[in-house]
Amino acid sequence: MSYVDEVFDMVVAKNPAQPEFHQAVKEVLESLRVVIEANEEKYRRDALLERLVTPERQLLFRVPWVDDKGQVQVNNGFRVQFNSAIGPYKGGLRLHPSVNIGIIKFLGFEQIFKNSLTGLPIGGGKGGSDFDPKGKSDREVMAFCQSFITELYKYIGADTDVPAGDIGTGAREIGYMYGQYKRLTGLYEGVLTGKGLSYGGSLARTEATGYGLLYLTEEMLKCNGRDIKGRTVAVSGAGNVAIYAIQKAQQLGAKPVTCSDSTGWIYDSEGIDVALLKEVKEVKRARLTEYAAARPSAQYHEKKDGEHGVWSVKCDIALPCATQNELDLEDAKVLVANGCFAVAEGANMPTTMEATEYFQANGVLFCPGKASNAGGVATSALEMSQNSERLSWTFEEVDSKLQGIMVNIFHSLDEAAKKFGCEGNYVAGANIAGFLKVAEAMTAQGIV
Ligand code: NDP
């Protein structure tokens, strides 16, 4: 049996009931096969793959807090410190009822390669909780965040592990967590990113993932002889990534016509009104029905099982920006039949493996999230730099660094794909380029 297959079987056996983690490992190892086989003896001797798929540390902890009725609630807290070969652990905290250790491990594993691709010195980690901030009062969210950090603060720090936001963790949650960290440690340091501007946050961090997604998409199109201008774009999600992806797509002359949340989706023939979307989602934290109510050109559709949602709309470019496995094979077939020629992932692993393979087999330009959504973590690393030098850069300075990073990411995965004989396969290119740097650092640092 090949080394790759052996290690994958070991992952499944040692990590039962973690399908998302298996899926992420399989996708990465499959595309690394050519590189692994060329160095098999060395990697086997060093158990490099076994070490790569095993987190350096996994923290699971109790998070008790008191709700507004005086009732004690208990959630599970997680932090997986996956790989620190190239820098301190870095990765977001997801707050969503679907969170479990398998989801956090899949995200942490992906984060290793994503962070490596940015070219910045950051290792891979991820964390979160099955706490649902939706429908909770500000006081309840604060009680949860304070309890969460009261345990986690022992294991994080500006030079060891620097968490950030993710689904359910926005500026409000980061603020409460930062306050509690500072209170417990007495340290005013860049231990979290995604902070508010008044206490060490970076300009352009809010926009970074969505903007970065479009910078990379534009470069991918350009290098394949296409222009983004005038293209119709289907976007899923209506959160941080989706909103700023829609905004940048418009700035680049494209026309995004959809967005979605967990209960329904919008088709707006005039193009999405970003100001209205922000008002509904960022200010009122309301449902998309409110967007449709305020906009005559918009149609609202309730989410229904078996239907294709935003992917049923005719588009040139699809940007999945909501959550994992939200675009499956049937959706991919509809998109291809409707003439979609490029897909770039804003969310983490939103496309199933079958859908990815279908896109690739049908000549669709496909960029995986670990490359195309890396703008968020890259800008988080720029926030760390600013905190370390106790300076704040201008919006333009951060945005232009972000643009440079995204263009570089595209070229490094494009070149890796060409070098290893799979030109145009950006999934393989991203995994190979991300892996090589981490593998070299792990090898140089010995058996740790
Ligand atoms: P937000 O919480 O701001 O938004 C998430 C959006 O997706 C919301 O519209 C939400 O709907 C929808 N959504 C969440 N879960 C589900 C689900 N199970 N089914 C259907 N819809 C769902 O998160 P972000 O925009 O920050 O993150 C989106 C994706 O991008 C995630 O995969 C995240 O890991 C990834 N990502 C985010 C980065 C960042 O900087 N924010 C960086 C890199 C990756 P509703 O409004 O109903 O909750």
Q: Name the band, by pLDDT with cuts 50, 70 and 90, for residue 11.
A: very high
Residue of 112, 131, 166, 345 to mutate, ligand 1, most atoms within 8 A of C-beta: 166
Query: Which of 137, 156, 136 shows the shortest CA–CA distance to 148?
Result: 156
Centre of ligand 1 to C-alpha 152, Å, is 23
User: What residue has token string 């509690």?
Assistant: 180
Query: Which of 389, 354, 435 shows the shortest CA–CA distance to 124?
Result: 435
Q: Name the band, by pLDDT with cuts 50, 70 and 90, for residue 324.
A: very high
pLDDT of residue 155: 98
Token duo for residue 413 = 């995965």
Residues assigned a catalytic role:
126
- Using DSSP's 3-state secondary structure scheme, residue 168 falls into coil
pLDDT of residue 93: 98
Ligand 1 pocket residue status of 238, Cβ below 6 Å: yes
Query: Which of 323, 338, 446, 428 shows the shortest CA–CA distance to 34?
Result: 428
pLDDT of residue 21: 98
Q: Could you read off the pLDDT of 193-216 as tens digits, one per residue?
A: 999 999 999 999 999 999 999 999
CA 1 to CA 120: how far, in whole Å? 36
- Using DSSP's 3-state secondary structure scheme, residue 28 falls into helix
Closest residue CA from atom 4 of ligand 1: 239
- Using DSSP's 3-state secondary structure scheme, residue 182 falls into helix
Query: Which of 439, 438, 446 shows the shortest CA–CA distance to 116?
Result: 438
Ligand 1 pocket residue status of 262, Cβ below 6 Å: yes
Cβ(192)–Cβ(221) below 8 Å: no
Q: Could you read off the pLDDT of 295-307 as tens digits, one per residue?
A: 999 999 999 998 9
DSSP-derived secondary structure for 114-125: HHHHTTSS-EEE
Cβ(329)–Cβ(244) below 8 Å: no
pLDDT of residue 276: 98
Residue 278: φ, ψ to 5°:
-65, -45
pLDDT of residue 158: 98
pLDDT of residue 291: 98
Residue 157: φ, ψ to 5°:
175, 160
Q: Name the band, by pLDDT with cuts 50, 70 and 90, for residue 47.
A: very high
Ligand 1 pocket residue status of 235, Cβ below 6 Å: no
Ligand 1 pocket residue status of 169, Cβ below 6 Å: no
* Mean pLDDT, all residues of the chain: 97
